[in-house]
Structure 1
């Protein structure tokens, strides 16, 4: 296929979609494609470059990764872990985390990554709900896990990573467990449809739900990953000539952003990934990328904002950066950060949009089609995306609706990106889908029972031909670019106007005094709601009345008059999920509680 480089054209984007075809084998296993084949073909190639905030460094090859995974698979089998069992992984970015994922997939078990930041209640909920039979846990998370074990009857064993030491017969040290096992292991053969990973959603819109991902979901991620990383070490005009690529992201490997957008796709392509065990800091981020020769990265908008504020001229301090591509997701990047990356790093940020359930569906690839500042991008090859209304019908250009993905791609083939369903939540699974209004009468009934190659693609009670709603609002322009409006429950009305918080937050961020911002409705007896902004100040600024007036004028001059924040509150930090997403819901509920205290709400 002939493509036209640079500047991006409509022809390139259209040609990519027209030529793209999913290739999903009946049998597929994440462990084999992410490690097994590389350990066989080039065992000495670098897989994991580890660094900790204490200064510890280590390099691990694909051969070492495979041998350690084989030992762990044998150890897990010895502990009674069987095919389909859920195994919790409570580990940070480190070599053992990658080992755990490969080992669990080789067994045909289900990996359940859990954040090190989870407290006892969060751990207990997920362990109980999933029925996890074993947990791999690092020392820092061990006290919290020990505290809830007696209320998690299915949890039989803990394998402890680190030097804190195992206690009692139900705990085993990592080194002791692996040293007792053979470095050879015959992996089970899994279907592409088999369950592989259970990731609980971050709970921004309610209690966390466990999204069960199949083995094939990794395949569904790859077109978006490669595009968002400007072909990730490949020449799109001659893919047979791979170049060097090194990946790093501060995204926690316990979440979709770290696991499916960073760790697993990097290993799939046989490239090295940097594992940094430590807190994110702007200076450290640049230092890591320079010292490890990082070429590709995934950086949250919150991370990029912090880097922009802390190091306005990064290349003066880090002149040998090798960055070629940055993907960003989780929130809208905004044109201020977009311009910073272009002007100071020489990189056009590729925004991406996806969810745990259906990841890497919309985004940009600045090398092959033009990015538009502030836009989420367009549907990645292999995904059929639309903005739909409450009835499930596509919205006209410029009209806001729910971003949705069709179960079949533009060629009519099943899209492998889809999750299998929510763990023990068939009703929630069904609610995620809308029937295709384009179906002929009677077609829905005919499609209700998947057959042949579609076996397992049908979710409980869902149609194979249907739209999967994301719950995120956007408008689509005539060229297919999507423009994020916020979560459906984040968009609100004030004085009769529909308000999307992202645009206002982006405007506020452009002011030198603002490090971060969140916009929510404040209940008001007369107008229903007022626009309120919570502001985290940049270093050196104070929250004075004069600054409030200045920030209000800043927004008034740039956006519609009804969009400026009628009230501003300065706070130390915004509520965030452990994945780095802003929790506007927390602030919105706080405003509602305050309104009740004032008698504004019943």
Structure 2
């Protein structure tokens, strides 16, 4: 990965002086860092890590936000044959301690914003012997200061020539059921990602046949580089093609997003549906205010829905390409408006090379129109091993085997996500297997109802879960976050006002009834300030579902 994402460009005189990372932060001037600078700094850091005893295969934790030094950290670790372990800056002490301890990480790389959290748990992680921090204060003890050690280290480093199947990255899944599992990603996985990347970006600016072809492509995504979406769908593929990526070290807001898109002339982006929904509500007609140069938008994590789809087409001038993948098998399904029509709400088709199907409980492909588990075969359409696959879960062979239908070398890998395949091969997301529920005998997928609710001007975001009911088993319940613009438009609109909430609930119920099947409208709506979200921007319906189950038990006790 380090060879194709950095070293080859640093050797190319036409590319070496071009920007690799455009670093931005609140109240700071933007800074441009070239591929030559990325290479030099990565070599210095590799020498520092080597002097600390880091060896091939050792895990090195990277606990940093989007910034130039984070790209340096990944390249430094990868080119020495070690394993980068990204950890979100949003993790609390328990989440950090579990991952650092379980992975047996030997060094942690962080910055001033994450140093205290790492230090608070380092004593509980016996394998962790060194911490290097960017921007640490002089008072910070028991930490190596990035600037000092980098300056003193040699600026050249001999590449460790890893094998395709060697681990490159260890990313822990979100752990919605049980403890998080560490997915080992090999170097070859980047190659498996590339067909999906170029298709989701409509090829413009990312030539799949000749990476030396220059273009004006500029990439930005708010996706955290500590997650698959930010690392494997943004940072690494952008560097693979020798293009610049914008690193925003700050909080996301719709206004910030539009300002970054304009200031850096961003042509390609990856935006979660939650981000697009917020941008749509905050700025309905962005091209009246901002000069945009967008050529492609990719989205993933949740269903985009036709309201956001239409907004991207009409107001941003781009057809959004929805994509689907997982940490373990990333970038496998999606749309490519340049090659085949993107259909609103569809996950798309299997990206070139991958053998994708919807299968039933026995591992057989489902007929058109019947829901099943989205699965990817270990062998690609040519009968060869698909490079997209992870190596397995860290120290958890049982979980690895449970992911497949049979023999690991020749089997389907289940995603746990349900979909329906139509006659044209498009997949339509039905939800996580543990998100779909039955209410009054009807099978309910939450995404369609949530998408319908968001179309209403009052709704900024929504999550639909089953509410246990003694008579019907469950009823449809929606948690709704109201749009601030809607609340501010009239003085009588405020949360906590029973009359206002009752009238709005009736209005939203009529809205859903008029768009969907009668059994899908939410029988109950609860208004909240925010929905529980993962650090990757996905709604945690499981948290709300468990909350409803606990409330049901409490009601039974009181009865």
Please tell me the TM-score bracket, short chain as reference. over 0.9
Q: What is the CA deviation profile of residues 99-150 of structure 1, one whole-angstrom value per residue up to 9, with x for unaligned ones?
A: 0000001110000000000010000000011000000011111111111111
The alignment partner of 2:113 has SS state of helix
Alignment of 1:327-406 (within 5 A): 327-406=298-377
**Counterpart-to-counterpart distance in 1, 2:79 and 2:384:** 28
Match of 2:11 among 1, 21, 40: 40
Q: Verify: 1:315 aligned to 2:284, yes or no.
A: no
Matched residue, 1:56: 29
Q: Post-superposition shift, 1:244?
A: 1.5
More displaced, 592-601 or 218-227?
Answer: 592-601
The alignment partner of 1:140 has SS state of coil
Match of 1:478 among 406, 423, 429: 423
Match of 1:289 among 253, 257, 261: 261
**Counterpart-to-counterpart distance in 2, 1:301 and 1:552:** 23
* Cα distance, 1:143–1:327 mapped onto 2, change above 3 Å: same
Match of 2:505 among 536, 545, 548: 548
**Counterpart-to-counterpart distance in 1, 2:455 and 2:85:** 39
Q: Post-superposition shift, 1:554?
A: 0.4
Per the normalisation by structure 1, the TM-score is: 0.89
Matched residue, 1:140: 113
The alignment partner of 1:595 has SS state of helix
Identify unmatched segments of 5+ residues in structure 1.
1-29, 436-461
Matched residue, 1:9: none
**Counterpart-to-counterpart distance in 2, 1:125 and 1:238:** 43
Match of 2:382 among 411, 416, 421: 411
Match of 1:70 among 26, 43, 50: 43
Q: Verify: 1:244 aligned to 2:216, yes or no.
A: yes
Match of 1:558 among 515, 525, 535: 515
Q: What is the CA deviation profile of residues 497-526 of structure 1, one whole-angstrom value per residue up to 9, with x for unaligned ones?
A: 000000000000000000000000000001
Match of 1:124 among 93, 97, 100: 97
**Counterpart-to-counterpart distance in 2, 1:476 and 1:206:** 30
Match of 1:149 among 114, 119, 122: 122
Greater relative contact order (CA < 8 Å, ≥ 6 in sequence): 1
Match of 2:134 among 161, 173, 176: 161
Q: What is the CA deviation profile of residues 530-582 of structure 1, one whole-angstrom value per residue up to 9, with x for unaligned ones?
A: 00000000113345100000000100111000000000000000000001011
* Cα distance, 1:321–1:428 mapped onto 2, change above 3 Å: same
Matched residue, 1:595: 552
Runs of 4 or more off by more than 3 Å in structure 1? 165-168, 234-242
Q: Post-superposition shift, 1:263?
A: 0.1
Q: Post-superposition shift, 1:237?
A: 10
Q: Post-superposition shift, 1:232?
A: 4.0
**Counterpart-to-counterpart distance in 1, 2:457 and 2:19:** 42
Per the normalisation by structure 2, the TM-score is: 0.96
Q: Post-superposition shift, 1:54?
A: 2.1
Match of 1:513 among 433, 455, 458: 458
* Cα distance, 1:498–1:600 mapped onto 2, change above 3 Å: farther
How many residue pairs get aligned? The number is 545
* Contact 1:398 1:475 (C-alpha < 8 Å) held by counterparts: yes
The alignment partner of 1:136 has SS state of strand
Identify unmatched segments of 5+ residues in structure 2.
488-493, 496-500
**How large is the RMSD of aligned CA atoms in angstroms?**
1.5
* Contact 2:198 2:208 (C-alpha < 8 Å) held by counterparts: no
The alignment partner of 1:267 has SS state of helix
Q: Post-superposition shift, 1:235?
A: 6.2
The alignment partner of 1:356 has SS state of coil
Q: Post-superposition shift, 1:177?
A: 1.0
* Contact 1:592 1:601 (C-alpha < 8 Å) held by counterparts: no
**Counterpart-to-counterpart distance in 2, 1:566 and 1:294:** 43
